[in-house]
Amino acid sequence: MAAYLVSFLTFVGIYAILALGLNMQWGFTGQFNIGIAGFFAVGAYASAILTVPDSPWHVGGFGAPFLVGIVGAMVVSGLFGLLIGWITARLRTDYLAIATIGIAETLRLIIANETWLTHGVRGMTNIERPFAGFFEALGLSSAVGMLIVVAACLVAVYFLVERARQAPWGRVLRAIRDNEIAAEAVGKNVGRFRLEAFVVGSAIMGLGGALYAHYFGFLSPEAFLPLYGTFLVWVMLIAGGSGNNKGALLGAALIWSIWSGSEFLMSATLPDAWSGQAGPLRVILIGVLLQVILIARPQGLLPEQAPKTVPFGKAGERS
């Protein structure tokens, strides 16, 4: 039970980081990114290539420390986001969604077929968990140590994105989301701000991918299917509350609880003849839940909080 709880909390932390990255793009700026799995994969493979020992099956073998791996993952994912953001700069809503999911799927197929780079469908192995020796010296398992690392990264990301939300930069992003024409009319460079938000969100998703790689210790293209890398993250953010960082955390915990808990429930209750249908039924369950949330509470469980404003008279007194 303890091992399951550690695994559960680790996955919640990783998905919460992905949801915070999406919140930066969609919740703050209104960019409809359906290619989360692509940035997730870029971060995972970038960190793995940098940190794994030498292998005759794929590039890499740099044996770099874990911190170098996660920084490299964020940089590579951010640069990938910069490229995609520049290419799709003029696209909005549905068109941006189509472009990003197409790019993400193309990237996944490249990962699956370019064996010299990623070992293809055979996957990459020997991805070590960080600071394992240090945690073992403290009497903790490598899994618990990984949970501590994920929690530390989640706290750092949450603090940074929350500060960004409250800063003038974050207020400009929300202004662009609510009325792009008005933001441009008051002199804001809409294209630059949108691109910056897209790059930052992509880098955060890359961090989530790096943590996933080091926790699992093995990477294959199947781990980055749209169901796991995109759909679940979107449901988490919608359920928790788009535009609210606390909502992203709550949504990640809630949806992963339902997703992982339903596996045990269905395996215990479904007859043997239906055992092969448990996976599709879980997807249907999450889909139905999403529809219920969109109808009953479209703003999410924790709606975005309105910014605090100062009454006109008091503002004049302070000036």
* Helix axes of 93-113 and 66-87: crossing angle, nearest 10 degrees: 130
Tell me how crowded residue 189 is: count the other CB atoms within 10 A of its CB: 13
pLDDT of 272 > 80? The answer is: no
The per-residue pLDDT for 60 is: 77
- In angstroms and rounded to an integer, the radius of gyration of the C-alpha atoms of the chain is 20
> Average pLDDT of the chain?
91
Average pLDDT over residues 99-122: 92
Nearest residue to 197 (alpha-carbon basis) of 25, 36, 53, 71: 25
Q: Using the CB atoms, write b or e for 246-272: b if 16+ within 10 Å.
A: ebbbbbbbbbbebbeebeeebeeeeee
Using a cut of 0.85, tell me whether the model's pTM lies above it.
yes
- Distances, alpha carbon 317 to alpha carbons 236, 307, 311, in Å: 43, 20, 10
**Residue 35 confidence (pLDDT):** 96
Average pLDDT of 112-138? 91
Please report which confidence band the pLDDT of residue 309 belongs to, taking 50, 70 and 90 as the band edges: low
Helix-helix angle 142-166:245-269, to 10 degrees: 140
At 303, is the pLDDT very low, low, confident or very high (cuts 50, 70, 90)?
Answer: very high
Which residues are CB-contacts of 151 (< 8 A; sequence separation ≥ 6)? Answer: 9, 13
* DSSP character at residue 272: G
| 49-58, 152-161, 274-283, 291-300: the lowest-pLDDT one | 274-283
Give the domain ranges of the chain: 2-223
Asked if residue 308 has pLDDT above 80, the reply is: no
Least confident of 55-64, 95-104, 159-168, 186-195: 55-64
Q: How many CB atoms lie within 10 A of CB 139?
A: 7
Roughly how many angstroms between the first and final C-alpha of the chain, as a whole number? 59
Least confident of 17-21, 79-83, 267-271: 267-271
Neighbours of 116 (CB within 10 A): 9
Q: Give the mean model confidence (pLDDT) for residues 287-291.
A: 92
At residue 313, the pLDDT reads: 58
**Among residues of the chain, what percentage have pLDDT more than 70?**
93
pLDDT tens for residues 228-253? 999 999 999 999 999 999 999 999 99
How confident is the model at residue 319, as a pLDDT? 41
Is residue 204 over pLDDT 50?
yes
